[in-house]
Amino acid sequence: MAFRIEVLSLLILASLGIYDGIRMTKVPLPNPDPVGPGWYLFIVSGMLFLCVILYLFIEKSRRRLLVIAEKKIRTFSFSINTLGWMLIVLVGYTLATPRIGYIPATAFFFVLTLHILGIRSWPRSILLGLVFTVVFKLLFSDLAGVSLP
Amino acid sequence: MGIGLLEGFVHALSPISLFYCFLGALLGTIVGVLPGLGPAATMAILLPMISHVPPTGSIIMLAGIYYGAMYGGSTTSILMNVPGEAASAVTCLDGFEMTKQGRAGEALAISAIGSFIAGTGGVVLLSFAGPILADFALTFGPPEYFGLVLFGLTTLLSFSGRQILKGVIAGLVGIMLACVGLDPVSGKARLVFGISEFLSGVNIIPILMGLFGLAEVLASAEEGIASIYKGKLGRFLPRGEEMRKGIMASLRGTIAGLILGLLPGMISSLVTFIVYDIEKRISKYPERFGKGVIEGVASPEAANNATAQAGFIPLIAMGIPTAPIFGILLAALMMYGLTPGPLLFTQHGEFVWTVIASMYLGNMMLLILNLPLVALWARLCLIPYRILAPLILGICFVGAYSLRNNMFDVWTSLCFGVLGLLMRKRNWPIPPLILGVILGDMFEQNLRASLQLSAGSLIIFFQRPIALTFVVLSVVSVLVSRKLWAKEAKG
């Protein structure tokens, strides 16, 4: 399944490049350009397409080995909960920062990630999260002059 | 010249010059360690503030910030797998592996020593052969650059390990990603699909932070890692054979970095990829590269610093800024009414030689400043990962955002973090993707400019000796890669 998604994604990407490359070959250019932005993209995407097809055939012929490899991946120590929660918190943090501001969003983010990653005591997570937020604000914004969202 | 340099040392050793030199080196180290605030931004911010400082002090400080940042840039790559700049991406490959083995001290120390060798080598070259070498650099045109980038791209074969086809696919995806945005030649939008954020293209730094830093944290969270390294830390300084290997690799990296760094427009990330590849090819144990060998840290770090230092040569000798950062230095020089070029040596000899002498001292200061910090930095890997991981994520977030002050770069970083995790799980090599993104622009621009010169004929790459040499080297590189694959297959 993962292999099919991988190949399909790459083929879609290559097709997008081929499509846009062809579109751009028709765009008039200010200066004569033998390759132009369109043909260059078309050639790169076309090469990608061919390589992915080649990869598909080679991997198909190794199907038996692939099944073994995928089994190996499945037996790998796996805790989807931690990873899943981490991803949710990261996406939430990125969405929340421009809306509620850097400091509150960062404080929430630190508290939640500390908790997810193993600091089970909420008071400790909150305390550490707040300390980290203050340190980040002082270090990056006040001391180094980095602009924060 | 010898007397000029001696006089320069006399002035550079004055307390006020030493103060500016130390301040620049210290600020540079801090800027290098902290992601998000690059040396160019720091120098641009400081420029108006230091207008009242005498020109010698000002340039000494600005130069110190630049090469100090080059020293500090490797720290987060080695300790957290977070490259603050594209040139440090290669350092992650072996540097972070060394940290995982409890050898962070050795990696940081050899990085500082390599940087010192490269920095000093660069100043020696600047002192004795600067103008001659700057002349040579000007013989490079688009076909020569194309040849060089083509040679750089062949290194993706050795970065692919046993997954050659996957490496080529990843490299092509990287080259395609570099096409996103406005076409550099005609200004037409490409692969944008109506998304305005795509117009300015994809920035390499959020991609690196995602593929390395974020992916590392996500993978470690999934594996439930307690700390980057458990146990007693190893030595803080490499000794014996390790030290010898590290110094030799630093010397090789320095030579390559100095030669390539002279070229206008040369990006140090390309140089670091090339020297890493060379180092791997000439090694007796290429299969151990990427698993924590000292040469894998020493050589690219030295090359990075040598490239940085070599950029001063065309700037001072000919007034050509080879990178945006040198443009800021050029602006600083012009602010004081100093026009860089051959006349600068004759008309303002005292100034030039004092700045050059201060670079010798600055490199020494950086070594003295950085080596004692090694023991402190190395202990970072003992911090429980449940505390360190949120900090790494926070740093990646700030680093990605602060580049262009937009959330799009943060989303880019996040997406590439997930992509990096999936690539690891599915055994896809990550460096070829990075190489493609870094070199894609340069490859396209020089290919198209060369073909414009020759009215579409490929013969141009075979008519010019330097370009032809690189094309031949690229073919040889591909052929030699077969040996490397055989060795890796055995390993």
Q: What is the ipTM of this complex?
A: 0.87
Question: Is B453 in CB contact (< 8 Å) with chain A?
Answer: no
Cα B320 to chain centroid, rounded? 20
Q: Is B273 helix (H, G, I), strand (E, B) or coil?
A: helix
Q: Which residue has the tokens 């001696």?
A: B6
The closest of A123, A148, A122, A128 to A137, measured between CA atoms, is A148
Cβ contacts of B401 on chain A, cutoff 8 Å:
148-149
Q: To 5 degrees, how large is the angle CA A29–CA A30–CA A33? A: 60
Chain B residue closest to A74 (CA)?
B425
Q: List the helix and strand counts (H, then E) for chain A.
A: 6, 0
Which chain B residue has its CA at the smallest distance from A124's CA? B387
Distance from CA of B244 to the nearest CA of A (A): 38
**CB crowding B60-98: b at 16 or more within 10 Å, else e:** bbbbbbbbbbbbbbbbbbbbbbbbbbbbbbbbbbbbbbb
- Helix, strand, or coil here: A91? helix
Are B319 and B34 in contact by the 8 Å Cβ rule? The answer is: no
- pTM (two decimals): 0.80
Residue of A nearest to B447 (CA): A35
* CB of A101 closer than 8 Å to CB of A148: no
Cα–Cα distance list, B423 to B141, B152, B277, B418 (Å): 37, 23, 21, 9
Check A132 against B444: CB less than 8 A apart.
no
Test B407 with A113 for CB contact under 8 angstroms.
no
B181 lies within 8 A of chain A by CB: no
Q: What angle do CA B268, B142, B160 make, to 5 degrees?
A: 50
- Paired tokens of B144: 């020569």
Q: Which helix (H) or strand (E) is B189 found in, with range?
A: strand B189-190
Q: Is B235 on the interface with A (CB under 8 A)?
A: no
Give B-chain residues touching A16 at CB under 8 angstroms.
191, 193
Rounded Cα gap, residues A124 and A114, in angstroms: 9
Distance from CA of B290 to the nearest CA of A (A): 21
CB atoms within 10 A of CB A122: 11
Q: Which amino acid is at B323?
A: A
What is the residue-level pLDDT of chain B in tens, covering all 491 positions?
667 778 888 888 888 888 988 888 888 888 777 665 667 767 776 776 676 778 888 888 888 888 888 877 788 888 888 886 777 888 999 999 998 888 888 898 999 899 889 888 888 887 777 666 666 666 778 898 898 888 888 888 777 877 888 999 999 999 999 999 988 777 888 999 888 888 888 888 888 888 888 888 888 888 777 777 776 777 778 888 889 999 999 999 999 888 887 776 667 788 898 899 888 888 888 888 888 899 999 999 999 888 888 878 777 777 777 677 787 788 788 778 887 776 777 778 788 888 888 888 888 888 888 888 777 777 777 788 888 889 889 988 888 888 788 899 999 999 999 999 999 888 899 889 988 988 888 899 889 999 988 888 889 999 888 889 889 988 888 887 776 666 655 55
Q: Give the span between the Cα atoms of B241 and A109, in whole angstroms.
A: 46
Instruction: Look at B176 and A10 and tell me if their CB atoms are within 8 Å.
Output: no
CB-CB contact of B32 with B84 (8 Å) = yes
